[in-house]
């Protein structure tokens, strides 16, 4: 997996030539309604899933697949994943194939990602039954690795409705080291709209699996669940909903599902419906109608994936998921369950986003992002509490010392008036003006200095403001807006204040000051010697060269790149959090802005 874009735990990655999040339509090789070639050429499908057990059991297909290979047989040039028969075990109670046989078969027909024969864990199983199923799955997983050849091997995470056993399965399967991790045993939960239990299963997997490996949701079903799954970092989905609903004369739409018999007007456009009215479809022979409905449903499912990807790129995935969760009360319940895990999710949250923080409802204030804000605000101890419309200081005659503004995020120092999200947020209520009496006031110059120090403390850590701006301070403002743009101390350019989010971009001189003031590991990404050479020349840091890092690093943070002796090598912006930097073996993890030509910065201090 190579990380391309991210928004929290949601991510766009490159994997084996396709982009994630990716929807693999389920193709039943015995009952093809939309041909894989059509899916590829007309629907933008570049990965699909089919069932190797069905192929294996059908002599005609088995022979063809072995002779021509799976890609030729299906006439599909994209990525093909195969399942193993475990789902048939769930539906029919048993299968005739062994783990070894089905893994070898998938390998021999040229599947790109094959699945071992895991043991399906039903929702009604006892904890003991589930634990036994997980242990047997792990045993078979080790066996499957021996027979997989060059094929990528998927190791499903079972665990039924027990979060503890989901965690246990994730750790166990992670140790076996598969190429790909589907989350299994969730179809019966999905069918009963038990989304809250599904999100718990996903979170346990994301917590304990290697973050650089793809995670797949087996049988993701209805596209209305995709946004929540993608929010939690699910990379692949498979779904047979497009065809299942078509057979049932139902149409998928972004706002829900409708029976054809109840539709008077199509509420959305889709190419499949272009030439028909609902009445035309009802009057059609069944086979033709099923195909049209399946095509429509597939368009709608693929479109949902596009909306999700666009939301990730726009860094609006939380808002999007929050709005989408209103489609069904059980989705909203699941979303609220997600918020209970905000401590874990906060580790993936940036300090600012491209777009303003939009409030969509009371859940918005429980987002993991808000938890991070509250933690960083805790360091400020203020006694004059105001309520003000924005821009805050423009609504005051004089600037009080020691003041904070009461906001939906908590008490925010007045100096953070231009910083994200305090200036970049939208709420559905009016801002009031309440100014209590205060004794001490600040001059405009004092307020500017308090501003740069408080922003640095908020952005980096308590004490960063003093470390960065100790000395003769010169503040350079924008001629157009009058806002602070650059800070020079003792003749050195320390940092620029970004217009978009009111947070700092460090310059080399600023980085050196932080490096000196904060002990090893704080703000550091430690790279090996091979990498250091290149980073000194301003080249980006690749995760495979990372030897260690500060656990508190979040995506988007300004970081200090150092070598093993803690010599400053470069400064840049983190693309990943520390855990991800250590685990990913492909791709960039720090976008370097400036390298430090050979200079022993530690020695300079001594």
* Binding site residue list: 118, 185
CB of 309 to ligand GUN, least distance (A): 24
Query: Which is nearer to ligand GUN, 115 or 535 (by Cβ)?
Result: 115
Query: Which is nearer to ligand GUN, 219 or 555 (by Cβ)?
Result: 219
CB of 96 to ligand GUN, least distance (A): 16
Listed in sequence order, the residues at least 6 apart from 71 whose beta carbon sits closer than 8 Å to its beta carbon are 77, 80, 110
Q: Does 418 bind ligand GUN (CB under 6 A)?
A: no
Q: Does 155 bind ligand GUN (CB under 6 A)?
A: no
Listed in sequence order, the residues at least 6 apart from 494 whose beta carbon sits closer than 8 Å to its beta carbon are 468, 469, 487, 488, 506, 507, 509, 510, 513
| Calpha distance 159→178 (Å, rounded) | 17
Active site residues: 83
| Calpha distance 353→319 (Å, rounded) | 12
Cis peptide, bond prior to residue 263, ω within 30 of zero: no
Locate the DSSP E strands across 308-454.
357-358, 384-386, 399-400, 403-407, 410-413, 425-426, 441-442
Residue 118 phi, psi dihedral angles, 5° rounding: -80, 170
How many CB atoms are closer than 10 A to CB 124? 9
Total residues contacting ligand GUN by CB under 6 A comes to 13
Query: Which is nearer to ligand GUN, 8 or 156 (by Cβ)?
Result: 156
Pattern of binders to ligand GUN over 171-200, x per CB under 6 A?
-------------xx-x-------------
Pattern of binders to ligand GUN over 99-118, x per CB under 6 A?
----------------x--x
Tokens (6 digits) for 58: 């059908």
| Helical axes 444-459 vs 368-377, angle rounded to 10° | 130
Would you list the DSSP string of 314-327? TT-HHHHHHHHGGG
CB of 90 to ligand GUN, least distance (A): 7
Q: Does 120 bind ligand GUN (CB under 6 A)?
A: yes
Nearest to 208 by CA among 272, 165, 267, 253: 165
| Calpha distance 568→493 (Å, rounded) | 17
| Calpha distance 438→459 (Å, rounded) | 28
Torsion sign (Cα): 76, 80, 85, 87: negative
Q: Does 212 bind ligand GUN (CB under 6 A)?
A: no
Q: Which of 43, 162, 181, 218 binds ligand GUN (CB under 6 A)?
A: 218
Query: Which is nearer to ligand GUN, 218 or 534 (by Cβ)?
Result: 218
Query: Which is nearer to ligand GUN, 64 or 216 (by Cβ)?
Result: 216
Query: Which is nearer to ligand GUN, 89 or 486 (by Cβ)?
Result: 89
Q: Does 334 bind ligand GUN (CB under 6 A)?
A: no
Q: Does 53 bind ligand GUN (CB under 6 A)?
A: no
Q: Does 86 bind ligand GUN (CB under 6 A)?
A: yes
CB of 331 to ligand GUN, least distance (A): 20
Q: How far is CA 182 from CA 110, 179, 218, 256, 582, in A?
A: 20, 10, 6, 26, 22
Q: Which stretch binds ligand GUN (CB under 6 A): 83-91, 298-306, 440-448, 589-597?
A: 83-91
CB of 110 to ligand GUN, least distance (A): 19
CB of 526 to ligand GUN, least distance (A): 40
Q: Which stretch binds ligand GUN (CB under 6 A): 38-46, 81-89, 520-528, 576-584?
A: 81-89
Tokens (6 digits) for 223: 């596209």
Q: How many CA atoms lie less than 13 Å away from 55 in the CB half-sphere?
A: 32
Q: Does 141 bind ligand GUN (CB under 6 A)?
A: no
Q: Which of 78, 155, 156, 555 binds ligand GUN (CB under 6 A)?
A: 156
Q: Which of 52, 84, 531, 567 binds ligand GUN (CB under 6 A)?
A: 84
How many CB atoms are closer than 10 A to CB 450? 19
| Calpha distance 342→243 (Å, rounded) | 36
Q: Does 159 bind ligand GUN (CB under 6 A)?
A: no
Q: Does 83 bind ligand GUN (CB under 6 A)?
A: yes
The answer to whether 510 touches 499, Cβ cutoff 8 Å, is no
Q: Does 50 bind ligand GUN (CB under 6 A)?
A: no
Residues annotated within the binding site for substrate are: 118, 185
Tokens (6 digits) for 100: 């070894």
C-alpha 280, offset from chain centre:
42
CB burial of 51-68 (b: ≥16 within 10 Å; e: otherwise) equals: bbbbbbbeeebbebbbee
Q: Does 87 bind ligand GUN (CB under 6 A)?
A: yes
Q: Which residue is nearest to ligand GUN (CB)?
A: 184
Query: Which is nearer to ligand GUN, 51 or 535 (by Cβ)?
Result: 51
Query: Which is nearer to ligand GUN, 83 or 417 (by Cβ)?
Result: 83
CB of 219 to ligand GUN, least distance (A): 4
Q: Does 210 bind ligand GUN (CB under 6 A)?
A: no
CB of 184 to ligand GUN, least distance (A): 2
Interface ranges with ligand GUN (CB under 6 A)? 83-84, 86-87, 115, 118, 120, 156, 184-185, 187, 218-219
């Amino acid at each position: 997996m190579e990380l391309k874009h991210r928004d929290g735990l949601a991510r766009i990655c490159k994997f084996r030539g396709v982009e994630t999040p990716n929807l693999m339509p389920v193709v039943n090789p015995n009952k093809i309604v939309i041909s894989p070639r059509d899916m590829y050429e007309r629907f933008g499908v570049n990965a699909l899933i089919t069932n190797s057990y069905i192929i294996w059991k059908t002599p005609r297909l088995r022979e063809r697949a072995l002779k021509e290979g799976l890609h030729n047989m299906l006439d599909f040039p994209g990525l093909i994943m195969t399942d193993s028969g475990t789902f048939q075990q769930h539906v029919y109670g048993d299968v005739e194939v062994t783990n070894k046989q089905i893994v070898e078969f998938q390998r021999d027909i040229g599947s790109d990602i094959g699945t071992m024969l895991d043991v399906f864990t039903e929702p009604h199983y006892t904890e003991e039954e589930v634990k036994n199923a997980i242990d047997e799955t792990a045993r078979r997983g080790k066996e499957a690795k021996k027979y997989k050849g060059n094929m990528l091997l998927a190791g499903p995470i079972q665990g039924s409705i027990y979060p503890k056993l989901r965690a246990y399965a994730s750790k166990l399967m992670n140790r076996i080291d598969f190429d790909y991790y589907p989350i299994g045993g969730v179809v019966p939960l999905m069918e009963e709209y038990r989304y809250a239990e599904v999100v718990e299963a996903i979170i346990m997997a994301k917590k304990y699996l290697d973050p650089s490996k793809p995670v797949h949701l087996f049988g993701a079903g209805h596209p209305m669940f995709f946004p929540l799954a993608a929010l939690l970092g699910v990379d692949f989905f498979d779904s047979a909903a497009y065809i299942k609903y078509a057979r049932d004369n139902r149409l998928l739409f972004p706002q829900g599902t409708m029976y054809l018999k109840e539709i008077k007007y199509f509420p959305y456009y889709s190419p499949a419906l272009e030439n028909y009215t609902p009445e035309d479809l009802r009057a059609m022979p069944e086979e033709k109608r099923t195909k049209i409905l399946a095509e429509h449903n597939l368009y709608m499912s693929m479109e949902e994936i596009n909306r999700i990807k666009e939301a990730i790129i726009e860094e609006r995935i939380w808002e999007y998921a929050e709005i989408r969760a209103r489609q069904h009360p059980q989705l909203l319940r699941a979303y609220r369950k997600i918020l209970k895990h905000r401590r874990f999710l906060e580790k993936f949250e940036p300090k600012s986003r491209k777009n303003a923080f939009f409030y969509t409802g009371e859940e918005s204030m429980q987002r993991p992002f808000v938890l991070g804000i509250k933690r960083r605000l805790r360091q400020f101890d203020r006694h004059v509490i105001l309520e003000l419309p924005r821009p805050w200081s423009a609504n005051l005659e004089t600037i009080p010392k020691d003041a904070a503004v009461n906001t939906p995020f908590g008490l925010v120092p007045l100096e953070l008036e231009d910083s994200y999200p305090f200036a970049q947020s939208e709420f559905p209520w009016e801002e009031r003006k309440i100014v209590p009496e205060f004794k001490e006031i600040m001059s405009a110059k004092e307020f500017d200095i308090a501003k740069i120090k408080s922003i640095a403390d908020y952005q980096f850590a308590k004490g960063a403001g003093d470390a960065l701006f100790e000395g003769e301070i010169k503040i350079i403002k924008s001629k157009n807006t009058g806002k602070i743009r650059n800070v020079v101390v003792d003749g050195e350019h320390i940092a620029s204040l970004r217009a978009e989010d009111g947070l700092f971009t460090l310059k080399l001189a600023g980085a050196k000051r932080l490096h000196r003031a904060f002990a090893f590991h704080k703000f550091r990404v430690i790279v090996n010697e091979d990498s250091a050479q290149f980073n000194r020349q301003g080249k980006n840091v690749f995760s495979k060269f990372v030897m260690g890092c500060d656990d508190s690093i979040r995506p988007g943070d300004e970081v200090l790149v150092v070598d093993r002796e803690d010599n400053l090598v470069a400064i840049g912006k983190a693309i990943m959090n520390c855990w991800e930097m250590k685990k990913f073996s492909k791709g960039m993890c720090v976008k370097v802005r400036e390298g430090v030509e050979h200079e022993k910065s530690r020695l300079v201090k001594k």
